[in-house]
Chains A and B, each alone.
Chain A
Amino acid sequence: MAKFIVDNKTVEADESITLLRACLENDIYIPNLCWLKGMADAPVSCRLCFVEIEGEEQLTSSCKIKVRDDMVVKTDTPAVRRLQKTAFQLLMSAHEINCKVCPANKKCELQKIARFLKTGLKPKNMNSHLKEISADMPPNPSLDLHVNRCVLCGRCIYTCIQKQGQSQITFAKRGIDTIISFYGAPEVLSATCSECLACVSICPVSAITLT
């Protein structure tokens, strides 16, 4: 067990777990999207879970470092909040904000983060960028993808690998056009996906729904 301090509070946690998990399990919320408990190797892609660790010059992604004795962590410094807010607003600038019709409404991870960071859902000073939905995306008979809800956290891909051994979902394209996409023959997808639905339940923003 490691004993360390987070926001002036003493926390104890097993040395094998990440700082993010230790904080979450001790009721210290740090915004996060791409990390899941049990991940051996977090993708570190959402760029929300920054913390400040005493003695370190740069902010650290808490999903990537293991807890250690005597570390002094701060989760709510101005620098941390600034980066978190920008990252969140950037995500929202590429997100279709139409909560009323969204099945994730009220349990949405984005709404939770917005409340926590005390920021609006609609970003200021940013152009909204929604993707055009291309017709050539491989279809999945049982599931619908909503590319403009998706925040590209990759939880579905990880979960699919855990459940099915090999992911039926992947990242496609690149840069601002990056999307998640199903791949494989529709029959295979139809058979496995309609039974499993793990991706539907893990998605923090209801970007994958039942047809």
Chain B
Amino acid sequence: MKKATPINKDIPEQAYDRIYKQAMQRQEAFLSVPGPRIHIGTATCGIAAGALETRSAFEEALAQRNIDAQIHTVGCFGHCYAEPVVIIDHPDSGFPPIFYPEVTSAKAKMLTTLFLQEGDPRFEHILGATVANEMIPSIMDFARFNQEKRVVMEKCGQIDPENIDEYIASDGYSALAKSLQRDSVEIIDLVKKSGLRGRGGAGFPTGLKWEFTQNEQDNETIVVCNADEGDPGAYMDRTILESNPHQILEGMVICGYATGARRGIIYVRAEYPLAVKLVTHAVEQARAYSILGQSVLNTDFAFDIEIFQGSGAFVCGEETALIRSMEGHRGAPRYRPPYPAQKGLHNLPTVINNVKTFACIAPIVNKGAQWFRTIGTKQSPGTAIFSVVGSVVHAGLVEIPMGVTLRTLIFDICGGIPDNKQFKAVQIGGPSGGCLPAEFLDTPIDFDSLTEAGAMMGSGGMVVMDEDSCMVDVARFFLDFTQKESCGKCTFCRIGTHQLLNILARLTRGEGREGDIDLLDDFSVDIKNGSLCGLGKTAPNPVLTSLRYFKDEYIAHINEKCCPGMACRTLTAFYIELDQCARGCDLCEACCPVEAVFTTSNRKKGIDQALCVKCGECQVACPPDYDAVRKVSPAALVPVIEHTG
């Protein structure tokens, strides 16, 4: 690949300057409008929490009160616990821009009247100011904000994903302009020096992958962005696509230039309709701005991007299955080597990178490999994005420098476990990952440390579990998932995961047998060694890690028919402690959906075990003053209470 030669003596820098100036003018025009500005996060998570209703409420209230304010829809801030998130910038009030969490329609109407009209920001509803000031504590005083390091998500929640000008005005596509003035080898060198590793899970060095493809340059090459995110509880890629699609496009164009490709494809799940819509829109805008098309930024480099929608098979996130699926075949993996970098889509060399990997490229080009290496660890430079869900106070997307410990992430940044419960385990890496117990909380988060501990970085799903979860049941849940998502091609994954699931399901039903633990271990090792693709090879990980760290729970399930987490229904039972039960109180009886609660002769309550479905409603209904409903495991511990006496 030669250095791109400019057409009409116009270098890409000038072409970029033109669109940059244009974007800045539009941006200034937007900012020069007097009056308040209301920024509403409207990615899928915000919408699910009611952001659209919030927006209508603002619009309605503004019209009613005749207030001139601009509503600005932005992507996702990553603070799911606080959705719908609204930032109100009301310069005339004298207050700095304020971050409001959980803005419902009612709150929106209230804020319109009291803040926008009367100037009272309602301190009780504020999370913080977005800038340091004298009046209101800044959000940056909170760990959830100040311990993050945003590289990929820097602009998420700040800009309107539907407006390319906002991306350009915040230096977007400047990295592309810079790249086009350099030799493609130089760019690959830069990516190699940055130490960037693929963010899809396995952590293969991105620069090396690009180099392999570049070495295959006799042929046309293809750039594919893998946005087939499917791990349960993981939604980083969706959020980035919905909040800042242009950063991904920019990374892909730079990659295309570096590897000599003319064609890029974004493989995105059809289950992400908003992401599909926004990315398609972004591609159209980029074409209109000559960022995609026959001459990228007026150079003779041609590159275009198309969108391919995957139809719901988890296995298509595996790169060879993804290629098969794009070729129109059944989404089933094939044997590697040859790797896609040598023979990929239609047998052409194909670079396949994750959404987050592409999103790292523009910052690396702009700020340099050295800068990137200052973030994170020596072996895993840069940041990691996790969707932290489960039993944590501040769930959501968190971008942290690699090397931060799990403890810092879960307890400092995400606020720890709610309801005074104890931490039990953290599941990292989705169905391919593993569960780590409390002893591993000081493990630094990077590719190698997590793999060593038995989990894996994965694409960034993280589920935090408290004392109420059962590790056998968690393993069962993930095996149920992989078993359903197996493509059915190879023997070990197709039938092996099914057999594993059978044993686990038996354990959770209290039908465990002696020898089951060895059986689980043997099957898991064989499936790991024998499966064809990454899905099968990693499918037993949830079983292997929970066996390693929570073996006592397995033993309790088998020997005592006891579920220590009291989560497996067949192994638990509810009963009423007669000493604490209040005479004449009917709350538990009233709420029982199956009429399993009966009244004893002395007007206290008992539970008919034959009828009870173990929903736990009675325990919730029982007033804290009595606290008479007990849950026990094994179920045989339940004292017998005579129905009539």
Chain A positions within 8 Å of B, measured between CB atoms, are 41-48, 50, 58-59, 61, 64, 82-83, 86-87, 90-91, 93-94, 125-127, 129, 152, 170-171, 173-178
Which segment, of B19-27, B293-301, B402-410, B494-502, faces chain A?
Answer: B494-502
In the complex, 9 of the A-B residue pairs with CB atoms within 8 angstroms, ordered by the A residue number, are: A46-B490, A47-B492, A83-B526, A83-B530, A87-B491, A87-B530, A171-B489, A174-B488, A175-B494
- On whether the beta carbons of B335 and A64 are closer than 8 Å, the reply is yes
Contacts of A129 in B (CB 8 A): 495, 498
C-alpha spacing A70/B496, complex, angstroms: 35
Q: Are the C-beta atoms of B529 and A58 separated by less than 8 Å?
A: yes
Docked CA distance A123–B530 (Å): 18
A45 and B313 form a contact (CB under 8 A): no
Whether A175 and B491, one on each chain, are in contact in the complex, defined by CB atoms closer than 8 angstroms, is no
Stretch of B8-16, B168-176, B479-487, B560-568 contacting A (4+ beta carbons < 8 Å)? B479-487
B519 close to chain A: CB less than 8 A:
yes
Residue of B nearest to A123 (CB): B499
CB-nearest residue of chain B to A64: B335
Q: B-side binding surface: helix, strand, loop or mixed? A: helix
Which of B485, B496, B522 is the one whose CB lies under 8 Å from A90?
Answer: B496
B641 within 8 A of A: no
Extra contacts, 5 of them, besides A93-B495, A152-B494, A175-B485 (Cβ < 8 A), are A44-B335, A48-B491, A59-B529, A87-B530, A90-B496
Tell me how far the C-beta of A94 lies from the nearest C-beta in chain B, rounded to whole angstroms: 5
Q: How far is the CB of A49 from chain B (nearest CB, A)?
A: 11
Q: B residues near A, CB below 8 A?
A: 313, 330, 332, 334-335, 483-492, 494-499, 502, 515, 519, 522-523, 526, 529-532
How far apart are A190's CB and chain B's nearest CB, in angstroms? 25
Contact indicator B486/A175 (Cβ below 8 Å): yes
Please name all residues of chain B whose beta carbon is closer than 8 Å to the beta carbon of A50 when the two chains form the complex. Answer: 530
Residues of B within 8 A of A175 (CB): 483-488, 494, 497-498
A86 x B530 contact (CB < 8 A):
yes
Verify B484–A127 contact, CB threshold 8 A: no
Closest chain-A Cβ to B546's Cβ sits at a distance in Å of: 20
* Residue ID in chain B nearest A88 by CB atoms: B491
In the assembled complex, which residues on chain B have CB atoms less than 8 Å from the CB atom of A152? 488-489, 494
Q: Which residue of A lies closest to B485 (CB)?
A: A175
Q: In the complex, A171→B332 CA distance in Å?
A: 11
Interface of A is mostly: loop
A209→B530 CA distance, assembly (Å): 31
Q: Is the CB of A174 within 8 A of B486?
A: yes
Question: Which residues of the other chain, B, contact A82 by a CB distance below 8 angstroms?
Answer: 526
Q: How far is the CA of A207 from the CA of B498 in the complex (A)?
A: 22
Contacts of A83 in B (CB 8 A): 526, 529-530
B483 and A176 within 8 A (CB): yes
Given the complex, which residues of B lie within 8 Å of A45, measured CB to CB? 489-491, 532
Find chain B residues with CB under 8 A from A173 CB. Answer: 488
Whole-angstrom CA separation of A47 from B529 in the bound complex: 10
Q: Complex: how many Å from CA A41 to CA B529?
A: 22
Alpha-carbon distance between A171 and B488 when the two chains are bound, in angstroms: 9
Residues in A neighbouring B489, C-beta threshold 8 A: 43, 45, 152, 171, 178
Cβ–Cβ < 8 Å partners of B496 in chain A: 86, 90
| Contact between A178 and B488, CB atoms less than 8 A apart | yes
Question: CB-CB < 8 A to B484: which residues of A?
Answer: 175
Complex contact A91–B491 (CB within 8 A): yes
- The answer to whether B532 touches A44, judged by C-beta atoms less than 8 angstroms apart, is yes
Residue of A nearest to B337 (CB): A64
CA distance A82 to B502 in the complex (A): 21
Q: Determine if A91 and B495 form an interchain contact, defined as CB atoms under 8 angstroms apart.
A: yes
Check A46–B486 contact: CB distance below 8 A. no
How many Å lie between the Cα of A174 and that of B502 in the bound state?
A: 18
A176 & B491 in contact (Cβ 8 Å cutoff) = no
Cβ of B321 to closest chain A Cβ, rounded Å: 11
Tell me whether A44 and B490 are in contact (CB under 8 A).
yes
Chain A residues near B497: list those with CB within 8 A: 175
Inter-chain contacts of B523 with A (CB < 8 A): 86
Do B532 and A171 have beta carbons less than 8 Å apart? no
Alpha-carbon distance between A64 and B332 when the two chains are bound, in angstroms = 17
Contact A174-B529, Cβ < 8 Å, known A47-B492, A87-B491, A125-B519: no
Q: Give bound CA distance, A90 to B497, whole Å.
A: 10
Q: Assess whether B502 is in contact with A127, with CB atoms less than 8 Å apart.
A: yes
Please state if A178 and B335 are interface contacts (CB–CB under 8 Å): no
CB distance from B46 to the nearest CB of A (A): 34
- Give B292 Cβ to nearest chain A Cβ, in Å: 34
- The interface residues of chain B lying within 8 Å CB-to-CB of A64 are 335
Q: How far is the CA of A87 from the CA of B530 in the complex (A)?
A: 8
Known: A44-B490, A59-B529, A174-B488. A94 touches B330 (CB 8 A): no
Residues of B within 8 A of A176 (CB): 483, 486, 488, 494-495, 498
Residues of A close to B483: CB separation below 8 A: 175-176
B483 closest partner in A (C-beta): A175
Look across to chain A and name the residue whose beta carbon is closest to the beta carbon of B492: A47
Of A43, A59, A170, A178, the residue contacting B494 (CB under 8 A) is A178
Contacts of B492 in A (CB 8 A): 47, 86-87, 90
- Name B332's closest neighbour in chain A (CB-CB): A171
Q: Which of A43, A86, A171 sits near B526, CB closer than 8 Å? A: A86
A173 nearest CB across to chain B (Å): 7
Q: Which residues of B contact A48 (CB under 8 A)?
A: 491
